[in-house]
Amino acid sequence: MVEALLLVGVAVAAFVGYNIGGATTGPAFGPAVGANVLSKAGAAGLMSVFFFIGAGTLGQRVVTTLGEDLVTGANVFTLETSIIVLFFIGGALFVGNFAGVPASTSMTAVGAIAGLGIATNTLDWAVMGEIAIWWLVAPIIGFWVSGVVGRYFYSTIDRWVAIESTDGALFELDRSGTIPRPVLGPNTTRRELTGGIVVIAIGCLMAFSSGTSNIANAIAPLVALDSVGMTPMILLGSAAVAVGAFTIARRTLDTLGNDITDLPLTAAIVVAVVSSGIVISLSAVGIPASFVIIATMSIVGLGWGRATRTVTVRQGLKGEKEPTVSVGALTADEMPPIGEGDASDVPSAADLFNPSTSARVVLMQNVVPILSTVGALVTFAALFAGIW
């Protein structure tokens, strides 16, 4: 009976990993796919490799936080409770993936485990509070760092990494030899190649950061059991993520790469670097972080920084000139020097975001963690009412 339950638990953990692959491949490689620098299959392959590297290194610390520190009861994580927790994590993430929206896997997983802890009165509120504080602080850090970049450095970065797209593929396979090898496309320029390499490298960094933070969401409840080892579960979880990256992630790649926004490639690179840096830093100390929320605030901060270039700090403090603060500033080809220009130089946010798709993303970003948390809390409260 125990062996059968363990197989069920492993299967549910794999299902969670599958949905993590679907939810996180889009944010990592959506810009590269949207810019026609990388195919969906190429994105899935790179996601699989770098997620595994992140999971096998810093990811172990986050597994320990969710599996051992968040709930403190000696017998809270049993095979039965672990399966139920993983079921709500995977089920909620599947809802988001089915809608083509990359939900916050960390918030979804922490919510389900917290639901178990509250229902059994074993939740370590100090650990939960630390995680919650960082969930609030990290997006603020992302906003301000991106704001500074947008105000002072964006134009310089844009000149460095802007991709000048040409007709045809960036790379092609030369099949003239025994072993096919990648070669440059017929129209690929040196600048296009450099920009393409940069955006792919940033996607790999994001995949690594996803592995550091998200592997715990798939395996932590089972690793908390003495009978399950961390290394085999990391291998299993990473393999499941790879399957999700090659299959269901195609929907989120379309959403992040084409539908939600016309985010310029330079802006996507800045947001990716800032967000990944924050996520990796938090993972190093065992804090599960929401990349999607941090990235969203980074986009807003980057637009805010660019928009405020029309006002100097002195003018702003004295109230001599009011800026038009809009993420639409990211669509402007050129912004005036600091202190010059006026509000009419700042494009509207409607030029950047697709309103209907953005509304769907915001809705699902809130619905998915709520489904996981409330579902687990209600289920465990009912199950343990007559047992504990």
Q: For residue range 311-350, list pLDDT tens digits in order.
A: 555 555 555 555 554 444 455 555 555 544 454 554 444 4
CA distances from 104 to 24, 71, 117, 152 (A): 9, 21, 20, 30
Helix (H, G, I), strand (E, B) or coil at 353: strand
Under 8 Å between Cβ of 200 and 219: no
Which of 104-108, 213-217, 329-333 tops mean pLDDT?
213-217
Cβ contacts of 127 within 8 Å, gap of 6 or more: 65, 69, 70
Length of the chain: 388
DSSP line for 109-155: HHHHHHHHHHHTT-B-HHHHHHHHHHHHHHHHHHHHHHHHIIIIIHH
Tell me which of 269 and 278 has the higher pLDDT: 278
Helix (H, G, I), strand (E, B) or coil at 71: strand
Phi-psi region of 186 (alpha: psi -120 to 50; beta: other; left: phi over 0): alpha
Structure tokens at 32: 């590269």
Tell me which of 118 and 184 has the higher pLDDT: 118
Under 8 Å between Cβ of 326 and 346: yes
Four-point Cα dihedral 197, 328, 304, 159, nearest 10 = 30
Instruction: Compute the distance between CA of residue 307 and CA of residue 343 in angstroms, rounded to an integer.
Output: 8
pLDDT over 90 (residue 364)? no
Residue in the block written with tokens 């392959």: 45
pLDDT over 70 (residue 193)? yes
How far is CA 280 from its chain centroid? 11
Residue 102 pLDDT grade (very low, low, confident, very high; cuts 50, 70, 90): low
pLDDT for 258: 47
pLDDT for 53: 95
CA distances from 106 to 135, 146, 246, 266, 289 (A): 10, 22, 21, 27, 6
Question: pLDDT per residue over 55-101, tens digit each?
Answer: 999 999 999 888 888 888 667 788 888 888 988 888 888 887 676 66
Under 8 Å between Cβ of 154 and 301: no
Single out the residue of 347, 302, 298 nearest to residue 155, CA to CA.
302
Strand partners, 123: 71
Residue 163 pLDDT grade (very low, low, confident, very high; cuts 50, 70, 90): low
Structure tokens at 327: 């993420």
Which of 6-15, 129-138, 378-387 tops mean pLDDT?
129-138
DSSP for residue 77: -
Q: Which of 36-40, 189-193, 313-317, 383-387 has the lowest mean pLDDT?
A: 313-317
pLDDT for 9: 85
pLDDT for 226: 73
- Helix axis angle for 154-161 and 190-223, nearest 10°, is 110
Tell me which of 83 and 258 has the higher pLDDT: 83
Single out the residue of 222, 210, 213 nearest to residue 87, CA to CA.
222
How much is the average pLDDT of 214-231?
Answer: 85
Half-sphere exposure (Cβ direction) of 231: Cα atoms closer than 13 Å: 0
For the chain, the average pLDDT equals 78
Tell me which of 307 and 62 has the higher pLDDT: 62
pLDDT over 80 (residue 149)? yes
Which of 16-30, 39-53, 102-116 tops mean pLDDT?
39-53
Single out the residue of 302, 34, 26 nearest to residue 154, CA to CA.
302
* Torsional sign, CA 72, 75, 77, 83: negative
pLDDT over 60 (residue 388)? no
Residue 240 pLDDT grade (very low, low, confident, very high; cuts 50, 70, 90): very high
Half-sphere exposure (Cβ direction) of 125: Cα atoms closer than 13 Å: 3
Instruction: Compute the distance between CA of residue 170 and CA of residue 32 in angstroms, rounded to an integer.
Output: 11
pLDDT over 90 (residue 242)? yes
Residue 310 pLDDT grade (very low, low, confident, very high; cuts 50, 70, 90): low
Burial class (CB in 10 A: 0-12, 13-18, 19+), 123: buried
pLDDT for 349: 46
Residue in the block written with tokens 């809009």: 326
Q: Is the pTM of this model over 0.85?
A: no
pLDDT for 15: 87
